[in-house]
Structure 1
Amino acid sequence: MTSPSETSVLASRFSIGLTGGIGSGKTTVANLFAARGAALIDTDLIAHRLTQPDGLAIPAIRDAFGPQFLTATGALDRARMRSHVFANPAEKSRLEAILHPLIRSETERQAREARGVYAIFVVPLLVESGSWRQRVSRVLVVDCPESLQVERVMQRSGLSEAEVRAIMAAQASRAQRLAAADDVIVNDGDPGRLENEVDRLHAQYVSLSGKSA
């Protein structure tokens, strides 16, 4: 549940919720907007930091799941945890109960300190969360063919096609994301087209924010 203070912070300025399926290129697109003056707040990056060695979430994860879910350096063993929660929805809920309040708190802190022309919240599970749509001014979906998603993730992660498709199946569908979108950027591997789309939307967002770039 979103706290009143968080809602006021996020609603106090023009903001974009950026999302897309795994392998769609969210980070690439977000960085292009950042280069043009947007402030980035990446919830996935926040989650990674919380689960690094000595991260704020590590003690609670160790207590709830056991030390076998940590690496030798004390970070979350993401591969092992991913397999565990995919096989057990109750365990997924238990992990989310640890991570989500910490992510919300850090998101709010970064939103207070953001100084860009407008803010972009990068939220991989924006559609699935059910609450983000009310917390941002517009939703931007980074889209690409599902076959390209699979290819990209296999190349960067070493996961099998079956593993990648299992992750995709656990996320909102491509149709669900597109239905939730105010704006869509197609990231099909054409850098020039991608830059042009970011330029177009950046100009639109600056205008809507009431600020100058």
Structure 2
Amino acid sequence: MPLTSNITSHHGCFNKIAAETPTVTLPRIKALTSGSVPQFIDLVLNLASTEILEDSLIHSAFSKNKRIVFYGDDTWLKLFPNFFARYEGTNSFFVRDFKEVDDNVTRNVIDELNKQDWDIMILHYLGLDHIGHVYGPYSSLVPKKLEEMDTIIYDIYTKMMSRNEKTLLLITGDHGMKDSGGHGGSTYSETYAPY
């Protein structure tokens, strides 16, 4: 991801996050937003998510009248119903969808970047995760997907910088991936992700 690497080396920093198990989406979203350590019951709830009631970044921002927009994995909408000013969620369980979910997110990002009535934008792309589940991290589809993500990150960064405002852009994965593809366990490659 040369564009993202260049931005990071000149205007940011690169690190990694350590994800506690289980390394599946719902517990990872809860951990990223609330700082809590996931429980194994969250593994079961990943299939039937319920609203997060504990304090989180989303609750805090919302209580301060910050306008939050969201696009991507609809797990967020189940965890934080009625918190987003605008949103479009897509079901994350169609693991053979490498493109449509990401195209929906990107389409909305382009619209949102032309608006200035939001404070926080959350994007949850799924294509790379799905490619990993179906074909593994060494699939020939991975470089093309990383190039797509590199371009959209660059586009977001460029548009945000053109506004000449103080802005924070965070990019991370909610978990890593096993060498064989998939995630959920406690191997190094599942529990570490770039940040």
TM-score, with length taken from structure 1: 0.32
Give the helix-richer structure, 1 or 2: 1
Q: Give the number of the structure with larger relative contact order, counting CA–CA contacts within 8 Å between residues 6 or more apart.
A: 1
